[in-house]
């Protein structure tokens, strides 16, 4: 079975909260295919690092140098 990460070239990451206590979720989408590929309760760098660890070393190497991410909006 192919992985949702196969052919991944461009992603979007969003963190959103809901309710008074702001229960948060982090969602990663594949921009090329317009579909969600990963989601996890929580927010911040530690949660996003969980996504990055799902990538194989070969996939991480293809991502090139890491560029700091700036929030939008």
Average pLDDT over residues 47-57: 86
Residue 27 has pLDDT above 90, yes or no: yes
Higher pLDDT: 61 or 18? It is: 18
Average pLDDT over residues 59-63: 65
Higher pLDDT: 1 or 72? It is: 1
Burial status of residue 5 (CB atoms within 10 A of its CB: 0-12, 13-18, 19 or more) = middle
Average pLDDT over residues 10-30: 86
Residue 72 has pLDDT above 80, yes or no: no
- Specify the pTM: 0.73
């Amino acid at each position: 079975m192919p992985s949702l990460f196969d052919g991944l070239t461009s992603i979007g990451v969003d963190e959103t909260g809901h309710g008074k206590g702001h229960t948060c979720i982090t969602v990663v989408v594949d921009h090329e295919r317009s579909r969600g590929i990963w989601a996890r309760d929580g927010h911040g760098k530690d949660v996003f690092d969980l996504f990055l660890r799902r990538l194989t070393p070969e996939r991480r190497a293809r991502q090139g140098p890491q560029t700091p991410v700036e929030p939008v909006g």
